[in-house]
């Protein structure tokens, strides 16, 4: 890595970083999937920051949300305008201190940001998988991450940390591989989707599939379903915000005009903003990956998968120390869901801390600057490390 780079008000960056890849599960065996069938070879894109200590006890795995990638911190090139998606939290002296911890972030299975997904070449045909890509689960994503962690020579993770769908991966790690997880930090997440969350995801998926360019998922090499994907992103983005944040940022202010257009232009600032978010998203994401990842999130049910329908029985398999964090304005995964999680963890006699952070920005609050969250993570990781050393 290069020397540290200073950047706007966020202190010191990890500097220039390089994305790498790990390939495993070569045919004919491949990787056995929870939904049946096998997939192989499987490639995961990943990045690491900091140094692994001699006894391998300082590794922290960061899990990303739906549209994230392995680039959690730093810059790929010196002229990059923006750093990684959680650069405010990962770096020297930050909440996840890369002077103390060896941080790993991999792109999830099914994504389109370097890891194997529906846009990847199908070994059988040489063409993109498209709808022939098998449906994957959060459990499959975690099993792939485990293969990467073992490849890096790590037997036990100091912590697994993530928000939203990344938080689902954290929970899955904690019960599927308890011997490998010393601590777990699920942020703004849930043990299973509510009917409301499933409904929003289904509306978003239908927006993609209703686009004539979707072509049943076989659009590679031709026009892409950009309009459907943009609408899907617009729907999703609204769920990441809050009434308070949108009122504060937009209200009913008009966009570059003094009166209504009396047509279907974007009269309001919030209309213009949401349209912009949709347009920007199609430049970097694949519509099929959106379908597969949201379906994996909807299928996720920790109690059903690991506890016969009971999250308490599921968590009885865990042995990690937990820090559970929710945000007051998150209506996608509201605090009551985190409290249910905490009660189940306590019934299992596990070491669990809980904090609801006051934040007006909705579900996305865990991605935004938060001195409270920074200090929580910094203190929690330090205490966990002291207890295991």
- The residue ranges of DSSP E strands in 258-381, in sequence order, are 321-327, 352-357
If you search the block for the tokens 């098998």, which residue do you land on?
134
Q: Which of 269, 299, 329 is the last residue of a domain?
A: 299
Examine the domain organization and report whether 228 and 349 are in the same domain. Answer: no
DSSP state of 5: -
For residue 1, tell me if it sits in a domain: no
User: In terms of C-beta density within 10 A (0-12 exposed, 13-18 middle, 19 or more buried), how is residue 8 classed?
Assistant: exposed
Residues 148-163 pLDDT 10s: 999 999 999 999 999 9
CA neighbor of 186 nearest in space, from 376, 383, 370, 385: 376
Region 308-336: mean pLDDT is 98
Q: For the CA atoms of the chain, what is the radius of gyration?
A: 21
Q: Cβ atoms within 10 A of the Cβ of 331, count?
A: 16
> pLDDT exceeding 90 applies to what percent of the chain?
96
Cis preceding-peptide flag for 82 (omega within 30 of 0) = no
Is the pLDDT at 10 greater than 90? The verdict is no
If you search the block for the tokens 């990467």, which residue do you land on?
148
The domain in which residue 202 lies consists of 194-299
Q: Which of 299, 316, 334 is the last residue of a domain?
A: 299
CATH, residue 233: 1.10.1740.110
Examine the domain organization and report whether 151 and 230 are in the same domain. Answer: no
Residues 257-291 pLDDT 10s: 999 999 999 999 999 999 999 999 999 999 999 99
What pLDDT score was predicted for residue 4?
33
Examine the domain organization and report whether 254 and 305 are in the same domain. Answer: no
Residues with catalytic roles: 164, 330, 363
Residues 6+ apart with CB under 8 A from 9: none
388 pLDDT band (50/70/90 cuts)?
confident
Are the C-beta atoms of residues 228 and 204 closer than 8 Å to each other?
no
Examine the domain organization and report whether 182 and 261 are in the same domain. Answer: no
Residues 6+ apart with CB under 8 A from 187: 161, 162, 163, 164, 166, 167, 325, 366, 373
Which two structure tokens, joined as six digits, stand for 249?
């940022």
389 pLDDT band (50/70/90 cuts)?
confident
Examine the domain organization and report whether 41 and 161 are in the same domain. Answer: yes
Euclidean distance between CA atoms 204 and 372, whole angstroms: 33
CA neighbor of 186 nearest in space, from 12, 19, 352: 352
Residues 6+ apart with CB under 8 A from 175: 302, 306, 314, 315, 317, 318
Euclidean distance between CA atoms 190 and 169, whole angstroms: 10
What pLDDT score was predicted for residue 12?
87
What pLDDT score was predicted for residue 8?
39
Examine the domain organization and report whether 158 and 20 are in the same domain. Answer: yes
Euclidean distance between CA atoms 178 and 309, whole angstroms: 19
Average pLDDT of the chain, as a whole number: 95
Residues 202-245 pLDDT 10s: 999 999 999 999 999 999 999 999 999 999 999 999 999 999 99
Region 1-17: mean pLDDT is 58
Euclidean distance between CA atoms 247 and 169, whole angstroms: 32
Euclidean distance between CA atoms 243 and 191, whole angstroms: 24
Region 75-91: mean pLDDT is 96
Examine the domain organization and report whether 240 and 320 are in the same domain. Answer: no
Region 352-371: mean pLDDT is 97
Instruction: Quote the number of domains for the chain.
Output: 2
Is the pLDDT at 190 greater than 60? The verdict is yes
Region 174-180: mean pLDDT is 98
> pLDDT exceeding 70 applies to what percent of the chain?
97
What pLDDT score was predicted for residue 11?
59
What pLDDT score was predicted for residue 195?
98
């Amino acid at each position: 890595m290069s020397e540290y780079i200073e950047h706007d008000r966020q202190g010191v960056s990890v500097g220039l970083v390089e994305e790498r890849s790990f390939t495993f599960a070569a045919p004919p065996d491949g990787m056995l999937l929870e939904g049946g069938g096998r997939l192989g070879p499987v490639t995961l894109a990943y990045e690491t920051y900091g140094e692994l200590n001699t006894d391998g006890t300082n590794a922290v795995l960061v899990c990303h949300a739906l549209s994230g990638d392995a680039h959690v911190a730093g810059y790929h090139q010196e002229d990059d305008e923006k750093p990684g998606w959680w650069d405010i939290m990962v770096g020297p002296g930050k909440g996840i201190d890369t002077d103390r911890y060896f941080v790993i972030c991999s792109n999830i299975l099914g994504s389109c940001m370097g890891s194997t997904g529906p846009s990847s070449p199908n070994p059988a045909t040489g063409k993109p998988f498209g709808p022939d890509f098998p449906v994957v689960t959060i459990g499959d994503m975690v099993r792939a991450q485990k293969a990467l962690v073992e490849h890096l020579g790590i037997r036990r993770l100091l912590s697994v940390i993530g928000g939203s769908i990344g938080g689902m991966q954290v929970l899955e790690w904690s019960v599927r591989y308890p011997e490998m997880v010393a601590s777990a930090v699920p942020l703004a997440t849930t043990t299973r989707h509510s009917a409301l969350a499933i409904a929003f995801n289904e509306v978003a998926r239908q927006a993609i599939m209703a686009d004539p360019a979707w072509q049943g998922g076989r659009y590679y090499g031709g026009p892409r379903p950009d309009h459907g994907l943009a609408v899907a992103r617009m729907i999703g983005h609204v769920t990441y915000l809050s009434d308070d944040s949108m009122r504060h940022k937009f209200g009913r202010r008009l966009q570059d005009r003094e009166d209504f257009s009396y047509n279907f232009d974007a009269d309001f600032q919030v209309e213009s903003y949401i349209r912009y978010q949709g347009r920007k998203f199609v430049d970097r994401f694949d519509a099929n990956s959106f379908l597969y990842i949201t379906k994996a999130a909807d299928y996720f049910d920790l109690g059903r998968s690991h506890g016969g329908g009971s999250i308490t029985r599921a968590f009885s398999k865990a042995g990690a120390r937990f820090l559970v964090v929710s945000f007051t304005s998150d209506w996608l995964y509201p605090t009551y869901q985190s409290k249910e999680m905490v009660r189940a963890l306590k019934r299992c006699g596990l070491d669990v801390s809980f904090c609801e952070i006051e934040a007006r920005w909705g579900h996305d609050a865990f991605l935004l600057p938060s001195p409270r969250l920074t200090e929580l993570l910094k203190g929690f990781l330090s205490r966990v490390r002291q207890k295991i050393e």
